[in-house]
Structure 1
Amino acid sequence: MYATLETLQLMTDAEDIAKMIITSELAAEYRRTHKELQQDLVAQEVISRFVKMKDKYEEVQRFGKYHPDYKETRKQMSEVKRELQLNDKISAFRKAEDDIQLLLDEISWTIAQSVSPSIKVPSSNPFFATSGGCGGCSTGGTCGCRTK
């Protein structure tokens, strides 16, 4: 690819957008909650138990209800998952993570739409699937996700 003035301007603009994102309140909140999460020993212990239980749960799921520990493992997994969801530090981090992801999705969608309305932007947010284009299913709207 040859460097043209237009290409260099696009790269400069992209760097400016990245700097704005990095210095945004959402990014600062994300970094703050991440740091607090890393320093909270209770939250780290819950995360550790969840990871161990997730591995055990996946092993049990391979055999389904025929595994001897199926019911007990499902019950334990639900308990650990609930504990994970109720932890204040973890839920604050997850909210900050969702907020920054939404910002990045919105920026990606806005840039894509400014180029062409037919550009697909992968996103897990249903807003982008119903905002005038395909939600990223890669079928060009033949799946029925296109709202037009």
Structure 2
Amino acid sequence: MLATTDTVEILEQSEQLGQVILQSDVYEQYIQAKEDLNKDRRAQRLIREFQDIKDQYDDVQRFGRYHPDYNKIMKAVREKKRDVDMNDSVASFKVAERELQALLDEVSQVIADSISPSIKVPKDGLVFQDTGSSHGHGCGSGGGCGCS
């Protein structure tokens, strides 16, 4: 591919946009929340415990309800997940992560719209948003998406 002046200019502007995002308050809050999470020994212990029980869960899933420890493991996974989610460092990190994702989604949408309004932009943060008429339900939700 031959580099044209337009291509070089687009790449330079992309780099500048990336630097602006890296210097944003949202990114700084994300980095701080990540550091706090990594330093929180209790949170790290809870995450390790959850990973351990998740490994057992994966084994149980191979056999489903026929596994002798199915109910015990399923309950333990839910309890550990709740423990992890209720930890202040984990909760703060998840909020910061969602805010950063929202910023990146918005930037992507602005870039796409500047080219053409018909460009579809994937949004990882879509799970956290009300999607209008579908109310967050996909086609696998028994008609909840409104496509029927």
Q: TM-score range by the shorter chain?
A: 0.7 to 0.9
Match of 2:67 in 1: 67
Deviations 1:111-144 (A, max 9, x none): 11211222221113165966xxxxxxxxxxxx98
What is the TM-score of this pair, normalised by structure 1? 0.83
Deviations 1:64-103 (A, max 9, x none): 1110000000110011000011000001011111110111
Following superposition of structure 1 onto structure 2, how do residues 10-89 of structure 1 map, counting pairs within 5 Å? 10-89=10-89
Q: Distance in 2 between matches of 1:105 and 1:53?
A: 33
Match of 2:138 in 1: none
Q: Distance in 2 between matches of 1:5 and 1:128?
A: 41
CA contact (8 A) 1:60 1:70 kept: yes
Highest RCO, 1 vs 2 (Cα 8 Å, sep ≥ 6): 2
Does residue 106 (structure 1) correspond to residue 97 (structure 2)? The answer is no
Q: CA deviation at 1:109?
A: 1.4
Match of 1:7 in 2: 7
Partner of 1:101, secondary structure, is helix
What is the TM-score of this pair, normalised by structure 2? 0.83
RMSD: 2.0
CA contact (8 A) 1:109 1:128 kept: no
CA contact (8 A) 1:33 1:89 kept: yes
Does residue 120 (structure 1) correspond to residue 120 (structure 2)? The answer is yes
Q: Distance in 2 between matches of 1:43 and 1:57?
A: 20
Partner of 1:62, secondary structure, is helix
Partner of 1:68, secondary structure, is coil
CA contact (8 A) 1:108 1:121 kept: yes
Q: Distance in 1 between matches of 2:117 and 2:146?
A: 17
In the alignment, structure 2 segments of 5+ residues that lack a partner are 133-144
Following superposition, which runs of at least 4 residues in structure 1 exceed 2 angstroms of deviation?
126-130
In the alignment, structure 1 segments of 5+ residues that lack a partner are 131-142
Q: CA deviation at 1:55?
A: 1.2
Q: Distance in 2 between matches of 1:144 and 1:118?
A: 21
| Identity over aligned pairs, percent | 41
Q: Distance in 2 between matches of 1:144 and 1:113?
A: 26
Code of the residue aligned with 1:69 in structure 2: it is D
Aligned residues: 133
Code of the residue aligned with 1:66 in structure 2: it is Y
